[in-house]
């Protein structure tokens, strides 16, 4: 089974950043985005597999950035990959 894809907007919420800065930071750290489609809005979005989201959040914590504790690992919205 394919891994769950999480949109960058959800990752941004976990990190306490806006979507644009999250995307830039993730790109500079070497993360590769997957093109996906949001089932609600039908828009194309950048997404990361759940394992990469966990790795990114842990990396940000290790680098000493403040992380909002109230947003930790709640139910994350899933998007579908574009074939």
pLDDT of residue 73: 61
Q: Total domain count for the chain?
A: 1
Give the span between the Cα atoms of 69 and 83, in whole angstroms.
35
pLDDT of residue 74: 66
pLDDT of residue 60: 93
Structural domain including 26 reads: 5-81
Query: How many CB atoms are located within 10 Å of the residue 60 CB?
Result: 21
pLDDT of residue 1: 45
- List per-block mean pLDDT (blocks of 10 residues) for the chain, which spans 83 residues: 85 92 96 93 93 93 83 73 83
């Amino acid at each position: 089974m394919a891994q769950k894809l999480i949109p960058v907007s959800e990752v941004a919420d976990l990190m306490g950043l806006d979507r644009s800065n999250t995307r830039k930071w993730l790109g500079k750290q070497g993360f590769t985005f997957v093109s996906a489609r949001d089932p609600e809005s039908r828009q194309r979005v950048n997404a990361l597999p759940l394992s990469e989201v966990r790795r990114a959040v842990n990396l940000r914590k290790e680098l000493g950035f403040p992380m909002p504790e109230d947003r930790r690992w709640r139910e994350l919205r899933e998007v579908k990959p574009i074939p």
